[in-house]
Amino acid sequence: MTVISFQEHFDEKIDKDQTIEPKDWMPEDYRKTLIRQISQHAHSEIVGMLPEGNWISRAPTLRRKAVLLAKVQDEAGHGLYLYSAAETLGISRDEMYAQLHSGKAKYSSIFNYPTITWADMGAVGWLVDGAAIMNQVPLCRTSYGPYARAMVRVCKEESFHQRQGFEIMLNLSKGTEVQRKMAQDAFNRWWWPSLMMFGPPDAESPNTENSVRWRIKRFTNDELRQKFVDVTVEQAKILGLTVPDKDLKWNEERGHYDFGVIDWAEFKNVVKGNGPCNRQRLETRKKAWEEGQWVRDAAMAHAEKRKARKASAASTLAEANAA
């Protein structure tokens, strides 16, 4: 019989595209990378509820209000699946929340931009959910089982979100001149931050090499960004909107669109906490957490009471059986 080390067994599973499960041995760096990525992803879903939540009470029709409410609720669900997946790696939910609320943990840069008009709901659904899907579909095959399985459901829901955003943009762009201008303005403001969502360029991405080797990431940041540009530019043509990039050009040789230089100084500044809404987002999250304390207390008290009731019923039954 050949004896192989834990490391070799892990490497073999990765090479064979088998999932790593919570009770499997894994290298410490793999575990840490997953906790980092999954918790940041969870925080992004939760903070990501805020820019759209801002429009629930102002949606233009009852149908739009119901759809937006459902979408924001879905994002909360995504956060919860992701926190659960991260918990299987040995970090508690309280710890993750504490990291978010103290400003230590990152969440996606995109949610630090304001949602100024109704067209922003269209642009967020179309571009932000569109970028999220591009990034997350490959994560359905990520090497860590609980993360991959969570992503399957998340992606199904995100694709509805993307379509509802596109539909808002379609209606506005085919509407009055004022509505068309509103759609173009939202597109102008959300285009570049959406490209930043994919993370820094590969040459400046410290985590990509290991994550690709461990098959956590199936594509690099630049590869996904390029796919997103190629798909979205065609969608913009259907909408009759202009991509706000004077350097955008189809490159016959590469079979891809070339696009302009991303303002990475802006990205770094937003990630550092200095974006237009960073402070507001964090304060809103902390307030919601503090004001929700009574709900958590009530749920715990209810759970304790049920446990005590069950224990007393079991002991009564045991006594009856013994008699």
Question: Which residue from 239, 271, 277, 282 is in contact with ligand FAQ, where contact means CB under 6 A?
Answer: 271
Among 122, 130, 200, 275, binds ligand FAQ (CB under 6 A): 200
Selected binder of ligand FAQ within 170, 196, 239, 241 (CB under 6 A): 196
- Within 8 A by CB and 6+ apart from 273, the residues are 103, 279
Q: Which is nearer to ligand FAQ, 54 or 180 (CB)?
A: 54
Interface with ligand FAQ: number of residues (CB under 6 A)? 28
Among residues 99, 205, 235, 284, the one that binds ligand FAQ under rule CB under 6 A: 205
Nearer to ligand FAQ, 161 or 312 (CB): 161
Token readout for 206 is 């410290």
Out of 67, 128, 172, 239, point to the residue binding ligand FAQ (CB under 6 A): 128
Residue span 137-176 as binding mask against ligand FAQ, x where in contact by CB under 6 A, dash where not = ----------------------------------------
Nearest residue to 78 via CA among 49, 108, 114: 49
- Binder to ligand FAQ among 59, 68, 89, 132 (CB under 6 A)? 132
Residue 192 tokens read as 């570049």
CA distance 171 to 261: 31
How far apart, in Å, are the Cα atoms of 152 and each of 44, 49, 140?
A: 17, 20, 5
The DSSP-derived string for 171-217 is: HHHTS-HHHHHHHHHHHHHHHHHHHHTT-S-GGG-TTHHHHHHTTS-
Q: Distance (Å, rounded) from C-alpha 79 to C-alpha 28?
A: 24
| Binding residues for ligand FAQ (CB under 6 A) | 36-37, 40-41, 44-45, 48, 75, 106, 108-109, 124, 128-129, 132, 135, 196-200, 205-208, 211, 221, 271
